[in-house]
C-alpha cells in the first residue's frame, strides 16, 4: 500500500495534541522505546515526551524513501516526531536499525552515556515477523497459526465486507518454537541485561512490554495458538527481569492492552470481525479508545499514580479492562454469532475499521 506522508504527520500531530492536553508531572524523565515508530510504541513515546516532557530514545527498523520508492510509514512518523519534539525543546534521538542486533544495543548504550543519563523507563514494543539470533546466526520467522488441530471460524474481509468461513491448519513444532523466539521475551531480557551491565539504568527503573489476551472466541488462533505461546513467554520473562534488576529496585511489567487495528491484526482470521463489532459496541457505550488514549491512561492511572502499580493475579497490568467488561463481551459474542455479509455493515463498525487501517498509512479514505 502507498503512503501519504502528510497524512501521517497530521495524525501524529493530533495524537501529540491529545498528549499535551493531558500534561502530567511525576512521570519518567529519560525513556527508551524499542519499536517506536507505530502503534503502542509510538503512542508510548508521544505520551512520555508530550505529556511528561521526557527525553526519549527510539529504535525502529524502517525503510527510508529512495528513488522511485516511498519510505515505510514508521520512517515518516519518526521524522515528524523528532521535528515536533525539537519545536518544544524536548530531546528526541531515533536510531533506525535492527533492535535484535548487538550493534543497535551498543549504539543505544553509547547514546545514553554521551547524554550522561540513565533510562528510568524502557518500553519493549517490537512487532516484527523475523529475528536473527546473533549468538547462533539462526533466523526465525513467526507465524499466526493454531496449535495441534485445524481451526475453523467466521472471518471478515474488511475491504469487501464479506463474511465467510476460514480454516487454518496447525503449526508445526518448529513454527511454534520460531514464533516464541521472535515474539517471546528472550530479546527483552537481553536488552535489559545489556543496559544493566552498561550502567545506563536508573535506580527504580520500570520496563514494560505489551501483550493481548482477548475473548475466548479468538483463543484458538491467538491466545492458545503460536502467538499466545510467545506472549506467555513474554509475560513469564517479566518476573525474570524483575529479579535481575532487584539490585537497583527495578520492575518489569507486561501491560495487556485493548484490541486495535494494526497491519498485523488485519490479517489474523476472526480478529477483524471481532474488532469491527467490538468498536461498534464500545463506541455506543462511549468507552472506545485508540492507541494514544490507552497509553495516556496506562501512564496516568497505572504506572505513575504515586502508589503501587495495580496488577491482576498473574502480575499483569490490565488496560483491556473496558474491552473485557462482561456486558461488552456478551454483546460482541451475540453479534458475532449472527454476523453475515448481509448484516455486517449494520452490526459492526466496518467504516471505522477501514478508516483506522487506512490511517496507518496516512490516508483518511479510499
Whether residue 222 lies in the annotated active site: yes
Q: CA-based angle 198:204:207, to the nearest 5?
A: 75
Dist. CA 171–CA 105, nearest whole Å: 32
* Sequence-separated (6 or more) residues with CB below 8 Å from residue 196: 244, 245, 248, 250
Dist. CA 161–CA 154, nearest whole Å: 12
Q: Cell 525539537 belongs to which residue? A: 86
Q: Cell 477501514 belongs to which residue? A: 354
Shortest CA distance to 93 belongs to which of 103, 106, 107?
A: 107
Shortest CA distance to 140 belongs to which of 93, 91, 100, 94?
A: 100
DSSP state of 188: H
Single out the catalytic residue among 222, 253, 304, 353. 222
Buried b (16+ CB within 10 A) or exposed e, 63-79: eeeeeeebbbbbbbbbb
As annotated, the active-site residues are 222
Amino acid at each position: 500500500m502507498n503512503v501519504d506522508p502528510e497524512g501521517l504527520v497530521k495524525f501524529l500531530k493530533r495524537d501529540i495534541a491529545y498528549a499535551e492536553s493531558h500534561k502530567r508531572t511525576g512521570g519518567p524523565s529519560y525513556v527508551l522505546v524499542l519499536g517506536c515508530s507505530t502503534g503502542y510504541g509510538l503512542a508510548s513515546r508521544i505520551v512520555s515526551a508530550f505529556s511528561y516532557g521526557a527525553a526519549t530514545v527510539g529504535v525502529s527498523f524502517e525503510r527510508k524513501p529512495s528513488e522511485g520508492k516511498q519510505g515505510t510509514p514508521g520512517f515518516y512518523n519518526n521524522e515528524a516526531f523528532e521535528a515536533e519534539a525539537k519545536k518544544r525543546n524536548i530531546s528526541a534521538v531515533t536510531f533506525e536499525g535492527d533492535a535484535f542486533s548487538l550493534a543497535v544495543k551498543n549504539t543505544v548504550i553509547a547514546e545514553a552515556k554521551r547524554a550522561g543519563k540513565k533510562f528510568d523507563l524502557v518500553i519493549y514494543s517490537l512487532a516484527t515477523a523475523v529475528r536473527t539470533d546473533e549468538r547462533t546466526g539462526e533466523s526465525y520467522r513467526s507465524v499466526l497459526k493454531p496449535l495441534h488441530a485445524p481451526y475453523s471460524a467466521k472471518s471478515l474481509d474488511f475491504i469487501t465486507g464479506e463474511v465467510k468461513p476460514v480454516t487454518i491448519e496447525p503449526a508445526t513444532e518448529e513454527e511454534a518454537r520460531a514464533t516464541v523466539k521472535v515474539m517471546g521475551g528472550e530479546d527483552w531480557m537481553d536488552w535489559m541485561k545489556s543496559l544493566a551491565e552498561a550502567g545506563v539504568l536508573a535506580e527504580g527503573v520500570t520496563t514494560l512490554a505489551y501483550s493481548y489476551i482477548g475473548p475466548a472466541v479468538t483463543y484458538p488462533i491467538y491466545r492458545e495458538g503460536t502467538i499466545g505461546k510467545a506472549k506467555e513467554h513474554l509475560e513469564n520473562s517479566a518476573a525474570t527481569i524483575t529479579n535481575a534488576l532487584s539490585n537497583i529496585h527495578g520492575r518489569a511489567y507486561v501491560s495487556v492492552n485493548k484490541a486495535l487495528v494494526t497491519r498485523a491484526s488485519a490479517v489474523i482470521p476472526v480478529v477483524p470481525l471481532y474488532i469491527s463489532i467490538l468498536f461498534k459496541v464500545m463506541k455506543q457505550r462511549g468507552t472506545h479508545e485508540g492507541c494514544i488514549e490507552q497509553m495516556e491512561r496506562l501512564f496516568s492511572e497505572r504506572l505513575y499514580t504515586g502508589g503501587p502499580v495495580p496488577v491482576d493475579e498473574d502480575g499483569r497490568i490490565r488496560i483491556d479492562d473496558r474491552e473485557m467488561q462482561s456486558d461488552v463481551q456478551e454483546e460482541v459474542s451475540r453479534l458475532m454469532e449472527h454476523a453475515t455479509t448481509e448484516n455486517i455493515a449494520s452490526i459492526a463498525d466496518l467504516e471505522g475499521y477501514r478508516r483506522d487501517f487506512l490511517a496507518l498509512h496516512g490516508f483518511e479514505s479510499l
